[in-house]
Amino acid sequence: MNLCKARRTQPSSRSHSDRISKKTDLDDSAGCDGAAAPHLLGDSVAKVDWLCLTDSTTIQAEPTCRSIEPLWRSEVGRCLIKASVTPCRSPATPRLSHDLYLLSDSGKIALVKHDYIRTQSDLERICQQLKGVPRIAFDTEFVSEDTYRPDLCLIQVAAEGVLAVIDPKEVDSVAPFWDVLAGGEHETIVHAGREEFRFCLHDTGKWPAGLFDTQIAAGLIGLEYPAAYGKLLSKLLDRSLAKGETRTDWRRRPLSDRQIEYALQDVLYLEELYESIDAKLQKWNRRAWLDDEMKQWQQELENFENRENWRRVSGTSGLSEKAMVIVRELWRWRERQAQQQNRPPRRVLRDDLIVELARRGKSEVKQIQAIRGIDRTVAKRHFPEIAEAIRAALELPKSEWPKIKRSRTSNQPSLVGQFIATALSTVCRTQNLAPSLVGTVQDVRDLVDYRLSQSADDEVPALATGWRSEVVGRTLDDVLEGRTAIRIRDPKSDNPLSFEPIS
């Protein structure tokens, strides 16, 4: 049996039905002498259990099979072979070009060619291929449970002429890949790419070019936010993902073909998903909204990376400034220890213990040991260090204590916030926007606070800035100030409420 390499043909102007045939030619790149066609870089392939190649140099129906129909998907720039076959007794492991993949009637996907990058020279070669492409889709696999920073285990990338996995555990440095992402004029496509962007920012100090996050973009065309990748694929592309490796420990080597195949699914359809969502963004003139969202997102992530985030310690609401200065010093101590030990900060000292230590404000070791549960989670050798951090905090002058940001209108009626939140949801439904992307409950509270007690020094809330102000902010202001009323139009409708001006 020959293992041959498929030849990619260019899309023609023929109709969709004309492009379907019962047979497709193969480029006999292996000489059809039984030798396998070489990979571009790696030598990893996934087995296709439901496809068998005949002795001829074509992919065609076996006597026991019904048909194999290749068709060109010009809108995604990939060749798809739709195989309607019964399992063959001698399944082949064909080495086909990386932009070719197979789909069975049951929806099963089998990648038949990809590049597994495990050497620095191969990484450099792939990076050269990526330069100048219009779009780069990428995803990562990482483990974050046991380390200070997420442990990057795999990078999956798809672009014109490239379908590859990069193994950070094998190559000397993945910096060349991040440099390619940060340079050039391409678009970078991800789904829920917070950690992916943090990897790039941390390693290079730069952001990938032309950011397009399909999760955020989906919310701007009225789909659920935050929606899982598989859910968007099902809704927009009628595709499903395999779920067999959801609990994989990506740090372990070697990785199996099944694991690689599973990982590559996360980028295989990203460009197609991008095109589906972007078409609506362009049609509704919302692409600029996405660009604004990505810029704001970048700024928030930069702040998260570069600023002290001690105010994010959970449970500090209601603490005094004296207690908050202890929280700050304990957070700083915890960060230093977590970095030195390469452990998640909360494994060093939990948030609830920081809050309890701050509330008590005691700096004696015996008093610290008396806190229930602290001896089970914190090593005893750290008690003197914790005591010293508390003492250092208490010795600071009041001028160096952190200022507590209080609500502008602590007596704000809760019903007002709920009413405005209902108005926000109604506007979003009529405008085909995901309410949870447009504004959170806290965003609504901030808007109400701002409108009821505005001063020159107040920070303008999110719902009163940018496209949010134009689309929803003005309507919410009208409702809040009594210029617009909300009425029940049709209780049985998916959108039962409507707005009416008050004359």
Q: Is 344 helix (H, G, I), strand (E, B) or coil?
A: coil
Calpha distance 257→171 (Å, rounded): 19
What's the confidence (pLDDT) of residue 253? Answer: 92
Q: What angle do CA 69, 72, 78 make, to 5 degrees?
A: 115
Calpha distance 287→293 (Å, rounded): 10
What's the confidence (pLDDT) of residue 407? Answer: 56
CATH code: domain 310-400 is: 1.10.150.80
Q: Which regions in the chain score pLDDT beneath 70? A: 1-113, 244-246, 406-413, 454-457
What's the confidence (pLDDT) of residue 245? Answer: 67
CATH topology of domain 414-501: DNA polymerase; domain 1 (1.10.150)
Q: What angle do CA 230, 152, 143 make, to 5 degrees?
A: 65
Calpha distance 157→18 (Å, rounded): 32
Calpha distance 491→389 (Å, rounded): 59
Pairing between strand 187-190 and 211-213?
Answer: parallel
What's the confidence (pLDDT) of residue 234? Answer: 94
Measured between its terminal Cα atoms, the distance across the chain in Å is 82
Q: How many CA atoms lie within 13 A of 490 on its CB side?
A: 4
Calpha distance 57→7 (Å, rounded): 11
- pTM summary value: 0.76
Q: What are the extents of the domains in the chain?
A: 1-113, 115-306, 310-400, 414-501
Residues 6+ apart with CB under 8 A from 19: 11, 12, 71, 72
Calpha distance 475→499 (Å, rounded): 9
Question: 197: left (phi > 0), else alpha (psi -120 to 50), else beta?
Answer: alpha
For residue 451, the Cα-to-chain-centroid distance in whole angstroms is 34
Residue 286 per-residue DSSP state? -
Query: Residues for the chain: how many in total?
Result: 503
CA dihedral 398, 403, 409, 413 (to 10 degrees): -110
Residue whose C-alpha is closest to residue 203's, from 237, 168, 161, 249: 168
Residue type, 421: A
Residues 30 and 67 sit within 8 Å (Cβ to Cβ): no
Q: Do domains 310-400 and 414-501 have the same CATH topology?
A: yes
Q: Is 14 helix (H, G, I), strand (E, B) or coil?
A: coil
What's 115-306's CATH class?
alpha beta
Residues 6+ apart with CB under 8 A from 186: 132, 133, 134, 135, 136, 209, 210
Residue 164 backbone dihedrals phi, psi, to 5 degrees? -150, 160
Calpha distance 503→500 (Å, rounded): 9
Residue keyed to tokens 């109709």: 15
What's the confidence (pLDDT) of residue 406? Answer: 62
Judge if the upstream peptide bond of residue 168 is cis by omega within 30 degrees of 0. Answer: no
